[in-house]
Amino acid sequence: MSILIIDYGMGNIGSLRNMFRRIGVETDVAADAESVRRARKLLLPGVGAFDAAMTRINAAGLGQVIRDRAVKDGVPTLGVCLGMQLLTDGSEEGSLPGLGLIPARARRFRREIGLKVPHMGWNLVEKATPSPLTAQFDGETRFYFVHSYHVDVEDQQHSILKAEYGVRFDAAIQRENVFGAQFHPEKSHRFGMKLLKAFADLPC
C-alpha cells in the first residue's frame, strides 16, 4: 500500500492528495485499523480542535494501532498541522492525552505578544536538528501556517525546523521515524512539494 492518509473526519485530505499527485506520489485514504496495519507510510492530517480529534481517533480504535505501527514497526509517520500536535503528549486546548509519540506539548499563542491569533500566513523557518525531511532546504525557506497553538518539544534534538511569531516555536519535529509539520505543506507551493517528496522518498 502507498502512503495512507488517515481520514478521521478532521483533515484537509483533498488538498494533500492533490499535492502528492503533483509530485507523482500515490496516496490512499482510509479510517479503519486494518488499513493502518497494512500501510507502508502514515500521514495524519488535522484541522480543528485537539480533544475532538483525539475523541474521533480513539472512537475509531486507531490510537493504539497508530502507536504500534510507528513505534513497534517503525513505519514512517507524518502529522500535519493539528496532526502534528496529536503526535505529542497533549495540548493546552484540551484535556485528553495525545498519541505520545514525541515528547512535547501544544501551547496557545499568548495574546500579550501583540500579534493576531491565529498565526496565519507565510513564515520563514530555520533548520534546527538535521533531518532527512529538511535536508534539501537551503537558504530562505518559508511555509504557510494557520494555527492558534504551537508545539514546544521537551528535547531540542526533536526540533528540526524553528519559526518565530512573537515567540520562537517548533515548526517541524521528529523522533526517529515520526515527523510533524505545523505548517500546511499542501498550501506551501514548491517548499511544501519538496517536504512531501522527502517524506515519500523515506525508506520503509
21 Ramachandran zone, left/alpha/beta (phi>0; psi -120 to 50): alpha
Q: Mean pLDDT, to the nearest integer, of 176-195?
A: 97
Q: Mean pLDDT, to the nearest integer, of 194-202?
A: 97
Collect all residues with Cβ–Cβ distance below 8 Å to 57 and sequence separation of at least 6. Answer: 8, 63, 66, 86, 99
Percent of the chain whose pLDDT exceeds 70: 99
Q: Mean pLDDT, to the nearest integer, of 140-168?
A: 97
Residue 1 has pLDDT above 70, yes or no: no
Q: Mean pLDDT, to the nearest integer, of 131-160?
A: 96
Query: DSSP label at 97?
Result: -
Residues labelled as active-site residues = 81, 184, 186
Q: Which residue type does 187 have?
A: K
Collect all residues with Cβ–Cβ distance below 8 Å to 203 and sequence separation of at least 6. Answer: none
Q: Mean pLDDT, to the nearest integer, of 7-11?
A: 92
> Which CATH number is correct for 3-200, 3.20.20.100, 1.10.10.60, 3.40.50.880, 3.30.70.260?
3.40.50.880
Using an 8 Å Cβ cutoff, are 43 and 52 in contact?
A: no
Convert the pLDDT of each residue in 28-61 to its tens digit. 999 999 999 999 999 999 999 999 999 999 999 9
d(CA 188, CA 139): 16
pTM across the whole model: 0.96
Computed over every residue of the chain, the mean pLDDT equals 96
pLDDT computed for residue 138 by the predictor: 87
- Taking the alpha carbons at both ends of the chain, their separation in whole angstroms is 11
Convert the pLDDT of each residue in 82-139 to its tens digit. 999 999 999 999 999 999 999 999 999 987 778 899 999 999 999 999 999 999 998 8
Residue 189 has pLDDT above 60, yes or no: yes
Domain boundaries, the chain: 3-200
Percent of the chain whose pLDDT exceeds 90: 94
